[in-house]
Structure 1
Amino acid sequence: MRRIGWLFFTMAILLLITAGCSNDQQKAQDRFDKYVAMWNKEDFKGMYGYLSKDAKKTISEKEFVNRYKNIYDAIEADKLKVKASKIEDLEIKDHKAVLPFEVNMNSVAGEISFKENAAVVQEKQGDAENWYINWKPNMIFKGLKQGEQVRVATQSAVRGEIMDRSGKYLAQNGEAIQVGVVPQQFSKGGEQAIQQLSKTLALSEKSINQALNASWVKENQFVPIKTVSQKDASNLENSLKKVEGIQQKKVNARVYPCEEACAHLVGYVAPVTAEYLKEHKDEGYNAQSKAGMIGLESLYEDKLRARDGVTIYTVDKDGNKKNEIAKVNPKDGESIQVTVDTNVQKSLYEQLKDEKGVATALQPKTGEILGLVSTPAFDPNSFSFGIDANTYQSLSTNPDKPLMNRFTKTYSPGSTFKLVTGALAVDEGVLNPNESISISGKKWQKDKSWGNFYVTRVGSKPNVNLRDAYVTSDNIYFAQTALKLGLDKFNSGLKQFGFNQKLPVNYPFETSKIAGDQDIKDEGVLANSGYGQGKLQVNPLHLALMYTSIVNDGNIVKPILMNGDKSGIWKKQVISKETAQLIQNDLVGVIEDKNGTGHAAKVDGLTLAGKTGTAELKKAQGEKGQENGWFVAVDTKQKNLLVSMMVEGVEDKGGSHYVVPKVKNVFQQYNK
């Protein structure tokens, strides 16, 4: 019996010991789990409260918190996930244990993942005994030792460049001139020096003073004031020499040699905003990044973008590199080449630079886009170099809207649209192009149901055939022709020409519309639409594309912007080959006939076909409102250039006749 008693007693003692060990194991695990939970929340102050007495001797709370925070900020730590491993039978010896854990996070150098062990100790702090973490630096990163620091190094990559069809740079990695001052010398000139510099650099005195009063500025240290192009620096050289203390430095910069002429087309790069970072989270951008903001720079950002290399590593107290934590190699951006011809682009811009207007140019056989211009414009270099607040304010509040990209918008096409009405009617067999229609006077209405609404025309020729109607731009003729077509055929015909459809090219062109998002449902709107008014809204590039049908046997070519892309047909046989030739001949008459509205565009040696158009933006008949002048022309023999151009506000400049010589100048320049 005694033996049995001793056996039960021994078993009881063992059970108590086992229960005690099991309890300690659970407490140690739970305690570390709480520490890990705070770590995942980046509650570094809370974490410090769980450190052992020995650990606290090596680092203060402030140092601990700052170390984690500074390191995580520097490496741009994100999506931190710390996981404590569960140990089935945790070994506890002398009130100490080791608990494994795993850390995963994203960083500026990619994903960081490592496994480590945390030493925990059971000790009394204050009035209570508990488990505490015997923290070491290797819990921040594997292998990190006491006295070592974490560093981040960047290896710069190069952004891809943008070139035109012949290899001329539209966006280039070049150099600019940073104009600055050395305060010790510059201050000798007093207020007069600031005024002189303000005038020379077209910069506010406030901006200059802000730069000079920055906290980091020292008397004998170069202070950057404004970055300008090398050309501008050369032009300003004499003026800058008059100001004591001025210095100039060459700096790497994104340069736009085409300047204002290509501003909206090419766009610019600029420092990213907080909003941009939010929209492009997890794409590798940071507060110091630059990105394409508009135009080609923005559209092809993913391809052009330089992805800098980054290395996260540790150094000892002497600055010697020890361990590499993470690394991503630099990756240069890809360069792109577009179909644009810089010479054509500049030629279009020269004709429009003093106007509010838009122009497009195409190779009408291949669909290659040779030029896209919007005016007024701005110098993209000013954004790339760093635009000052006053200049940006001036641009953004300018009533002429120089920051708006007009060639992406849609407009009332006016009489340039008559190509479509006439071509559809001939193809549908509702119009005999050789038959003269009798029209009396300068105004017409179908019947009394139209009330006070009349269609008006400029001329008064009593008998008009299709060629006459094109040459003199007879609104009444085309209004009647639209009614002959009828609502169904007119609406379906316009869709055949690409209305209500996105242009098949990678650029944010607005979609041409028949009548908003609907078809035309009203006879009066149909009549007005026949000569390009009504509710029609057409994109300038789309208008140019429609004109390619008359030099491509009735096919509309696919627009091409990227050099090397394959040419093709966008809209096959929108009209018959015979109708296309007929309309081409009639539109040649618009220019060749001395009475033609486009006769001023006649160029010796060229056979141009074209059409003028004056789009009236008035709200009611009889009102006087803004007029936009259009002219579209294509070389029918060489078939190498097609231009569409629109100038806003031509009501006091001769209407569309104001635009005709501008387009003529482009053709002459192109054929020199």
Structure 2
Amino acid sequence: MKRKKFEWTGRLILIIFSLILVLSLIFFITKQTHKNTTEQLLTEYMNYINKHEYEKMYKMISKEHSSNISMEEFVKRNKNIYEGLETKDLSIKILNEKSNGKEISYLTSFNTLAGEVKFQNEVNFIKEKFEYKLVWKDSIIFPQLESTDKVRIDTVEAERGQILDRNGKVLAGKGVASSVGLVPGKIQDKENTIIKLAELLEVDIDVIKNKLSAEWVKDDSFVPIKTIPKVSELELMKINPDENLVKLKENQEELLSIPGVMINDIEVRDYPLKEAASHLVGYIQKVTAEDLEENKGKGYDSNSVIGRSGIESLYEDKLKGQNGCMIYIEDEFGNRKDIIVDKPVQNGEDIQLTIDAELQKVLYEQFKDDKSCSVAMNQYTGEVLALVSTPSFNSNDFVMGMSDKLWKSLNEDERQPLYNRFRQVWCPGSTFKPVTAVIGLDTGILDPVEDYGNEGLSWQKDSSWGDYYVTTLHETEPATLENAMIYSDNIYFAKVALKLGENNLTSFLEKLGFNKEIPFDIKMSISQYSNTEGIKSEIQLADSGYGQGQILINPLHLASIYSAFSNDGNIIEPTLLYNPNYNPNIWMPEVIQKESIHTVLETMKKVISEPTATGYGLHREEYTLAGKTGTAEIKLSKEDATGTELGWMAVFTTDPNIENPILLISMVEDVKNIGGSGYVVQKDKRVLDQYLR
């Protein structure tokens, strides 16, 4: 009996213990599940903000305990705030719980267009049927936010940095233009007004109609149609005012005679040098949808501008600056209540170039009617003083809003005014002969006083060349290096190239930077000595010696090589950013021996100083100049009579102590029958007359 009682008691204890264990487990699981559910719900809700899935957020809230807000109101409120602030990367960190997990304290952080926002907040959950719902309030968005408040954004536009020349003259900066627009309520005859305005402004009729039909337009709105240059009354008062300004003035007077038309002054990006520096400075335009996509996170918005070419594009990140932005809460009375985040404006940096604006203008004026390019540098420092390509375009036209007519004319002009010639490679002709000479001397193959023989005006190595002959314009007697340089004897340098051989010539050209990128801010085309892997024939080798064959060189690269004549064989690295304490960088140190440099330099001085030499037109009594002329034939074959010629002039001052040292290289296309390189010599003379004066 006792045994049975003991067994029953043991079983009872076991049952009670098991029951307690099960109840404890149920309690623990229930508590844990409850905890995980509310945390997970909050995390899920916040993740929907990152995905802009506001309808899903609405399904998670308790309608009854959230002021019975409708889905439409909820979505609109959240969407306008979160997307208006460009909210992204929102994350939360749970801090603690209260009331069995129904109230959760958490830390929120996310990025906005004004910077990072962080704050601590609380949210409540309520159980409805078998699931928990979030009790939504406006304060979940921001703790200070009430239902009658608004979230505002104030933006301060950053000023774009200026582009300046070495003397502080503006190449790109603030300017004033005229905005021509319509006030709808003052228009008398809408159809005829639009037709007349389209004709005077060279704007499509549909463009004007679309602008007038925009949602924001009211009767008293000023609807801008086109930006045009501002006419300066002072300029018109000159004795001989610019004809274009006079036409602009007449055009504006006709515009103002149309009822409803207004003209207001606006601030624009201005390029004072106009066509003279457009290929160098470039221009800006309004950002496109593609620009915004490609530059996400860089502070651009639909009202931003972006550099499209030249320096404007190259230094866009520095020039543009960062807009200031304040996000704040405004109460129902329009008062600023709380500042959420305030990012101060950062104006763009000014970019100062080594360019000399006056030299840039002088070069442009001399060559503006030619297909040409010019490079000028201080050969001792590598500072680039001018980069000019002609014909050109006016950067201001892109800022104002270029008409279809002007855009078409620029693109259809056979002279290619949009084509940047100083970035390309060209056949250098005889300006390459000093390079061949220093290679010959440096390798010990060329004896400068050796007579290579007077071959007349044409020559071939032997009959294996068939009917191909090297021709020259002047007989040379005796055919020494000095005379060959003075009279630009093609035959002499063809013989030197053959004596050098392909390996000596090409390996040295590699040392001089051929087939390599030029270390310069603006990307230039790479110079080459062959279209293939090497020089493939004796004829090509011979032609290469006097700058023909398949030799192509960038003008800035040629200028850099010529800098060796002023720096004992060191090739100076070109630079474009101005620094008053700049120390020159050597691109290729001691690449040419001093003895070779000095020997060739003396012959190049005589190219300018000898009355019968090809460059004598540049001779000056007060300065010693050195240089080389060049004429390159561009034709399909020797028999091609339709080919053209490139005219070159490379000239530099030889005294390092003068105030304004300069190395100038100019190239002009189509000089055949207008004087060849002599045409370029005369133009460069006028440039040097002004620069060295």
Q: What is the TM-score normalised by the length of structure 2?
A: 0.87
Match of 2:472 in 1: 457
The alpha-carbon distance between structure 1 residues 541 and 22, as it changes in their structure 2 partners (threshold 3 A), is closer
Cα distance between partner residues in 2 of 1:282 and 1:459: 64
* 1:613-632 alignment, distance < 5 Å: 613-623=630-640, 624-632=642-650
- Give the partner amino acid of 1:636: T
The alpha-carbon distance between structure 1 residues 55 and 299, as it changes in their structure 2 partners (threshold 3 A), is farther
Indicate which of 586, 589, 599 corresponds to 2:606.
589
2:610 maps to 1:600? no
2:51 maps to 1:41? yes
- Is the 8 Å Cα contact of residues 160 and 347 (structure 2) preserved in structure 1? yes
The alpha-carbon distance between structure 1 residues 501 and 23, as it changes in their structure 2 partners (threshold 3 A), is closer
1:446-476 alpha-carbon deviations (Å, 9 max, x no partner): 2333344332223344642222222222222
- Give the partner amino acid of 2:176: E
The alpha-carbon distance between structure 1 residues 9 and 25, as it changes in their structure 2 partners (threshold 3 A), is same
- Is the 8 Å Cα contact of residues 39 and 82 (structure 1) preserved in structure 2? no
Cα distance, 1:342 vs structure 2: 0.7
2:631 maps to 1:610? no
For structure 1, which segment, 436-445 or 146-155, has the greater mean C-alpha deviation from structure 2 after superposition?
436-445
- Give the partner amino acid of 2:547: G
The alpha-carbon distance between structure 1 residues 568 and 26, as it changes in their structure 2 partners (threshold 3 A), is closer
* 1:476-625 alignment, distance < 5 Å: 476-516=491-531, 518-520=533-535, 522-564=537-579, 565-603=582-620, 605-623=622-640, 624-625=642-643
- Is the 8 Å Cα contact of residues 603 and 664 (structure 1) preserved in structure 2? no
- Give the partner amino acid of 2:589: K
2:96 maps to 1:81? no
1:254-298 alpha-carbon deviations (Å, 9 max, x no partner): 211111111121122222233333333322223322222222222
The alpha-carbon distance between structure 1 residues 560 and 426, as it changes in their structure 2 partners (threshold 3 A), is same
Match of 1:98 in 2: 103
Cα distance, 1:663 vs structure 2: 1.0
Match of 1:237 in 2: 249
Look up the SS of the partner of 2:72 in the other structure.
Answer: helix
For structure 2, the 5+ residue unaligned runs are 1-8, 237-244
- Give the partner amino acid of 1:536: I
For structure 1, which segment, 396-405 or 133-142, has the greater mean C-alpha deviation from structure 2 after superposition?
396-405
State, as a whole percentage, how many aligned pairs show the same letter. 38
* 1:43-82 alignment, distance < 5 Å: 43-55=53-65, 57-78=67-88, 80-82=89-91
Look up the SS of the partner of 1:437 in the other structure.
Answer: coil
Look up the SS of the partner of 1:469 in the other structure.
Answer: helix
Cα distance, 1:202 vs structure 2: 4.8
Cα distance, 1:647 vs structure 2: 1.4
- Give the partner amino acid of 2:670: G
The alpha-carbon distance between structure 1 residues 607 and 21, as it changes in their structure 2 partners (threshold 3 A), is closer
- Give the partner amino acid of 1:142: P
- Give the partner amino acid of 1:123: E
Cα distance between partner residues in 1 of 2:680 and 2:194: 45
Cα distance, 1:540 vs structure 2: 0.8
- Is the 8 Å Cα contact of residues 90 and 111 (structure 2) preserved in structure 1? no
Indicate which of 112, 118, 121 corresponds to 1:116.
121
Cα distance, 1:404 vs structure 2: 2.8
For structure 1, which segment, 108-117 or 441-450, has the greater mean C-alpha deviation from structure 2 after superposition?
441-450
Cα distance between partner residues in 2 of 1:471 and 1:231: 52
Which portions of structure 1, spanning 4 or more consecutive aligned residues, are displaced by more than 6 angstroms? none
Match of 1:651 in 2: 672
Cα distance between partner residues in 2 of 1:220 and 1:141: 38
- Is the 8 Å Cα contact of residues 204 and 390 (structure 1) preserved in structure 2? no
Cα distance between partner residues in 2 of 1:627 and 1:609: 23
1:468-521 alpha-carbon deviations (Å, 9 max, x no partner): 222222222111111112222212322332323332332222232233584545
Cα distance between partner residues in 2 of 1:413 and 1:311: 58
Match of 1:667 in 2: 688
Cα distance between partner residues in 1 of 2:418 and 2:104: 61
Cα distance between partner residues in 2 of 1:671 and 1:199: 48
Cα distance between partner residues in 2 of 1:143 and 1:134: 17
- Is the 8 Å Cα contact of residues 197 and 240 (structure 1) preserved in structure 2? no
* 1:166-205 alignment, distance < 5 Å: 166-185=167-186, 187-188=188-189, 191=192, 197-198=197-198, 200-205=200-205
- Is the 8 Å Cα contact of residues 82 and 101 (structure 1) preserved in structure 2? no
Match of 1:217 in 2: 217
Cα distance between partner residues in 2 of 1:648 and 1:189: 51
- Is the 8 Å Cα contact of residues 440 and 462 (structure 1) preserved in structure 2? no
Match of 2:228 in 1: 228
Cα distance, 1:413 vs structure 2: 1.2
Match of 2:241 in 1: none
For structure 1, which segment, 55-64 or 479-488, has the greater mean C-alpha deviation from structure 2 after superposition?
55-64
1:368-412 alpha-carbon deviations (Å, 9 max, x no partner): 211101122221122234444554454345443323322122222
2:445 maps to 1:430? yes
Cα distance between partner residues in 1 of 2:353 and 2:19: 90
Cα distance, 1:71 vs structure 2: 1.8
The alpha-carbon distance between structure 1 residues 210 and 35, as it changes in their structure 2 partners (threshold 3 A), is closer
Cα distance, 1:186 vs structure 2: 5.2
The alpha-carbon distance between structure 1 residues 37 and 214, as it changes in their structure 2 partners (threshold 3 A), is closer
Cα distance, 1:65 vs structure 2: 1.5
For structure 1, which segment, 54-63 or 69-78, has the greater mean C-alpha deviation from structure 2 after superposition?
54-63
1:280-337 alpha-carbon deviations (Å, 9 max, x no partner): 3322223322222222222222322221111111111112112222221111222232
- Is the 8 Å Cα contact of residues 152 and 312 (structure 1) preserved in structure 2? yes
The alpha-carbon distance between structure 1 residues 579 and 201, as it changes in their structure 2 partners (threshold 3 A), is farther
Cα distance, 1:434 vs structure 2: 2.5
Cα distance between partner residues in 2 of 1:186 and 1:629: 58
Cα distance, 1:643 vs structure 2: 1.1
* 1:224-373 alignment, distance < 5 Å: 224-231=224-231, 235=245, 236-243=248-255, 244=257, 245=259, 246-373=261-388
Look up the SS of the partner of 2:590 in the other structure.
Answer: coil
Look up the SS of the partner of 1:622 in the other structure.
Answer: coil
Cα distance between partner residues in 2 of 1:571 and 1:23: 73
- Is the 8 Å Cα contact of residues 44 and 65 (structure 1) preserved in structure 2? yes
Cα distance between partner residues in 2 of 1:655 and 1:462: 23
Look up the SS of the partner of 1:322 in the other structure.
Answer: strand
Look up the SS of the partner of 1:249 in the other structure.
Answer: strand
Match of 1:633 in 2: 651
- Give the partner amino acid of 1:656: S
For structure 1, which segment, 661-670 or 567-576, has the greater mean C-alpha deviation from structure 2 after superposition?
567-576
1:95-149 alpha-carbon deviations (Å, 9 max, x no partner): x81234443322111122334222111114xxxx422111111222333222211
- Give the partner amino acid of 1:600: G
The alpha-carbon distance between structure 1 residues 641 and 29, as it changes in their structure 2 partners (threshold 3 A), is closer
Look up the SS of the partner of 1:242 in the other structure.
Answer: helix
- Give the partner amino acid of 1:230: K
May I ask how many residue pairs the two structures share in their alignment? 662
Cα distance between partner residues in 2 of 1:297 and 1:71: 35
Cα distance, 1:208 vs structure 2: 4.3
- Give the partner amino acid of 2:227: T
Cα distance, 1:356 vs structure 2: 1.8
The alpha-carbon distance between structure 1 residues 365 and 199, as it changes in their structure 2 partners (threshold 3 A), is farther
Match of 2:147 in 1: 146
Look up the SS of the partner of 1:114 in the other structure.
Answer: strand
The alpha-carbon distance between structure 1 residues 38 and 188, as it changes in their structure 2 partners (threshold 3 A), is closer
